[in-house]
Structure 1
């Protein structure tokens, strides 16, 4: 039962990370461009940096193994945790 909960938690985190990636990409292009046009290029670049740093902080805090809590790295589809070996997918 605990193994199934770990898989469900991993899948929930994976979907959340994909959603955050999509939101970050939209904000990078649309947000920084719109703010740059309205307030000037300087503010567009500041918005770009804030979105990038915010996304990286989110990934650093959020993308962790549900079992051991260690960071999972850049991949989005781990079969098992590279640190504790717990099975994460199928």
Structure 2
């Protein structure tokens, strides 16, 4: 029984003697708390997201010939069929 305890102690010692430095650990160089800054004005955020949304809508319409803004099919490669639920 004493041999098992000694082996367990040696295993714990071997595991706990990790040679990694703090700089090797991912995220160790990040600050403890993120700095709190001011949010951009609401108008600026709306303009940013509106531009991104219209860009996605244009790409979708070009690829799938469907206008998501009007919720209507367009002429093109795909034939859209309304399905009743």
Taking structure 1 as the reference length, the TM-score comes to: 0.35
Identify which of structures 1 and 2 has the higher relative contact order when contacts are C-alpha pairs closer than 8 Å and 6+ apart: 1
Structure ranking higher in helix proportion:
1
TM-score by length of 2: 0.36
Asked which structure has the greater CA Rg, the reply is 2
| Higher strand residue share | 2
